[in-house]
Structure 1
Amino acid sequence: MKAFGSMLLLVLPGMALAQSASPLVLNLSQALVQTVTVDGKAAEKRTPGYTRVRPGDQLAQTVTARNVSTRTLANVAVRLPVPRGMVYVAPDGAAPAGVRTEYSIDAGKTFAPAPLKRQITVTENGKAVTREVEVNPNEYQAVRWTIGALPAGTEKTLGFRVQVK
């Protein structure tokens, strides 16, 4: 089973997305994440570029956004879908300073900060009642990071973990 398709969407307000003219270079990678024992203690082992996965395997999906221009880029939005056949687990570390993280449960049409909520209707005492409930993170379908400012020559590494269904 191939673990990850290279589906990455980038939005730069007011700028063309042509690869050759882009002031932003994106590097997408993944690594198999395993817990191993080292000197009697549990440790995390990452195997980069791992392409054969089994149900239950956990992968770190990472995108590095690098500004290759000579000016600061503002409000750079990077979207990364949760790959098919996988479920979102958690962020892969803390978001870098100056980065806002939002999630989508509708295939990337809308985004909001966690925890996401939805309205459901239930029947109580014979009456339909609408309630707001928190969405389980394993229902997240995409993640969007908005980098407030990315100075020339710098980069931000962003990511999340998924589990193979």
Structure 2
Amino acid sequence: MKRFSIAGLSAIALIAGATFSSQPIVANIFEGGVAVAQNAQKAQVQLQLEAEKKVVQTVNGQQKVAWQPLKGKVMVQPGDVLRYSVTGANNGDKAVKNLTINQPVPQGMVYVLNSATVKANQGTKITYSIDGGKSFVENPVVKVKLANGKVETRPAPDTAYTHVRWNFGASVAAKAAVKGSYQTKVR
């Protein structure tokens, strides 16, 4: 049985980008699970990544799901389900427009279909990439060649997903926070 060691979140997770209006990121620093992204107008968003492992327990004959926080170096096994949560806190005095956060599916993991969620932000759009983060769509599809030679378009399998993207709508108010999460399964 394969076992994987996760030596801290920064080794397997990268907050690939946060975009503000049409301005590029000036700084994107990732240390100890926290990133700071800043645009040219000095709007500041602090990004925090957390990971939890799904634990199923039987209590009084019923199965209950709990999420165990992962800290430091941990061991996971094939089949384990992990939930990643990204929180974006606008610490600035002005609203941040067009906040977009990209989160790669970590190597050795498979995205759990339909698991991406968002909390407390209307107008958020969740999209996905199956090409390494080059393009994002709401419902990724692949072309499959059938035995008879015809080509069909089908929903992309879970193994094809490479990134999850949250676009948090028109703006995130000053001193407000947004949160997105998704699940993966260890291969």
Indicate the TM-score class for this superposition, using the shorter chain for normalisation.
0.7 to 0.9
Name the SS of the counterpart of 1:52 in structure 2: strand
Partner of 1:67: 90
Where relative contact order (Cα < 8 A, 6+ residues apart) is larger, the structure is 1
Q: Deviation per CA, 1:50-101, whole angstroms, max 9, x where unpaired?
A: 5210111110011101101111112111000000011001454642322110
Residues 133 and 92 of structure 1: CA distance in aligned 2, closer, same or farther (over 3 Å):
closer
Partner of 2:16: 9
Return 5+ residue gaps in structure 2 as ranges. 29-35, 39-43
Structure 2 length-normalised TM? 0.77
Separation in structure 1 between the aligned mates of residue 100 and residue 158 of structure 2, nearest angstrom: 21
Separation in structure 2 between the aligned mates of residue 95 and residue 21 of structure 1, nearest angstrom: 20
Displacement after TM superposition at 1:139 (Å): 2.1
Partner of 2:53: 32
Partner of 1:105: 130
Structure 1 length-normalised TM? 0.87
Partner of 1:156: 178
**CA contact 2:110–2:186 (8 Å) conserved in 1:** yes
Return 5+ residue gaps in structure 1 as ranges. none
Q: Deviation per CA, 1:76-132, whole angstroms, max 9, x where unpaired?
A: 110000000110014546423221100111111111002x112233353xxx43321
Q: Once the two structures are aligned, what percentage of the paired residues are identical?
A: 25
Please report the RMSD computed on the Cα atoms of aligned residues, expressed in angstroms: 2.0
**CA contact 2:37–2:46 (8 Å) conserved in 1:** no
Separation in structure 1 between the aligned mates of residue 53 and residue 37 of structure 2, nearest angstrom: 33
**CA contact 1:91–1:159 (8 Å) conserved in 2:** no
Q: For residues 120-131 of structure 1, what are the structure 2 equivalents within 5 Å?
A: 120-124=144-148, 128-131=149-152
Displacement after TM superposition at 1:162 (Å): 0.5
Q: Does 2:143 correspond to 1:119?
A: yes
The one-letter code of the counterpart of 1:14 is Q
